[in-house]
Amino acid sequence: MSYGFRAIVSTYGCYDVNGYRFRSEKYERAKTGLTTKNSGVCVNSVGEGNELIEYYGVIEDIIKISWEGSMQLQLVLFDCRWFDPTSAGVRRTENLGLVEINHNSRFSNFDPFVMACQVSQVYYLYYPCKTIPDLLEWSIAYRVPPRGCVPSYGTTDGTNPPELPTYDVSFYQEDGLEGTFTIDLGDGLENIMSCGSDEITDPKELEILEKQPAQEYVVDEESNEEDEESDDEDEESDEDDEPEVLAYDPNDF
């Protein structure tokens, strides 16, 4: 690295890293028919008081720097336009996990470059309402998970969003509806209730019911005897059909 990097650098419109496909803003403006917007980025940093600071920005250009020498060292940088990380450029609704960006704000320090391996992708969703002045300059920052991966919240390596604090939020639920109402079933309910009972009181029907179990029992016995006789006949026929087994005598050979 003591030789320094080359004076001529390479620029790209797209670059894949960390499971994302990034594009520069000027590339997306030149291309029509794109279905996604991939120029938003976010990088985490630690402040002087060890507090976590999130910087949101937009990629203006993608640059690859190459060094002289036999090792062919290369580094990809994102030239970004950063928004103001203070409350003037970023406002948060912690209990909802909502982060809003003022896209007209700018970071005061000149530090546009960031390594491509340090950033995660962000999509800025603008408010459709154009009548409320407080929403015109603001957009919602949505952290995009890497392709084919589920983000693991809690890491602070710049590839995934940090763990968000949890809050106890009380919810209000109505206990019941006010007022009363009446269900009118009409005359149909009286007709249903006036039907006779299912109790059998006719002497002839009672006599038939008393005889029915005895008849069924006799039939069952007769059928069982027939089944036993048929089984015995089958066993005898099977014994008659068995071939005669001849005794083996070694003197016959």
Q: Exposed e or buried b for every residue in 177-201, given b needs 16+ CB within 10 A?
A: eeeeeeeeeeeeeeeeeeeeeeeee
Dist CA 56 CA 40 (whole Å): 8
What predicted TM-score, i.e. pTM, was given to this entire model? 0.55
pLDDT confidence of residue 158: 44
Query: What is the total residue count of the chain?
Result: 253
pLDDT confidence of residue 218: 47
User: What would the pLDDT profile of 132-174 be if each residue is shown by its tens digit?
Assistant: 878 888 999 998 888 766 555 544 444 444 444 444 545 444 5
Would you say residue 194 lies in a domain?
no
How many independent structural domains does the chain possess? Answer: 1
Would you say residue 165 lies in a domain?
no
CA distances 112 to 78, 108, 142, 201, 229, Å, are 8, 11, 21, 101, 103
Domain limits for position 109: 10-143
Would you say residue 94 lies in a domain?
yes
User: What would the pLDDT profile of 16-45 be if each residue is shown by its tens digit?
Assistant: 998 899 999 999 999 888 888 999 999 988
Would you say residue 48 lies in a domain?
yes
User: What would the pLDDT profile of 116-133 be if each residue is shown by its tens digit?
Assistant: 989 999 999 988 888 887
